[in-house]
Amino acid sequence: MLASAGIGCTPLASILRSLVETGSEREVLVLHAESTIERWALREQIRADVAILEISELELWLEVPSTRDPAHAGFMSLQNVTIPADASVYLCGPLSFMRMMRAQALEAGVPARSIHYEAFGPDLWLASA
């Protein structure tokens, strides 16, 4: 499972592209949260890669829903997402997003050792110095 918010889709798009290029047959669930459809970077690449993979699915959440793109309204939630029992979860986005998604994944039964994340943004240590 690849879950991202905002520009956090960049590293996860790279993972997804690698799966396509290696001909992966893994089940892949791609989740992305964005403010508007227009702000979603790499959306065409991600959609194309999901379409190429045989066992893959894309779910999108938009704060401002679009009439032309099917999406959940509001912020991402794993409440109605079926996470495979043996899933590896990769998170990338703002820290608040990753904390929330990690907590929801743990609540859904994903072991902590199967949840990975990439802090993608300003260095909080430097910003607080």
Matching residue, tokens 């992966």: 24
For residue 103, give every residue at least 6 positions away whose Cβ sits within 8 Å of its Cβ, in sequence order, or none: none
For residue 50, give every residue at least 6 positions away whose Cβ sits within 8 Å of its Cβ, in sequence order, or none: 16, 28, 30, 56, 57, 58
Encoded tokens for 127? 């910003």
Any idea where the domains of the chain sit in the sequence?
2-128
For residue 13, the model assigns a pLDDT of 96
Cα 41-15-87 angle, rounded to 5 deg: 115
Q: What is the CATH number of domain 2-128?
A: 3.40.50.80
10-residue stretch averages of pLDDT, the chain, 129 residues long: 94 96 95 95 96 95 88 94 93 93 96 88 60
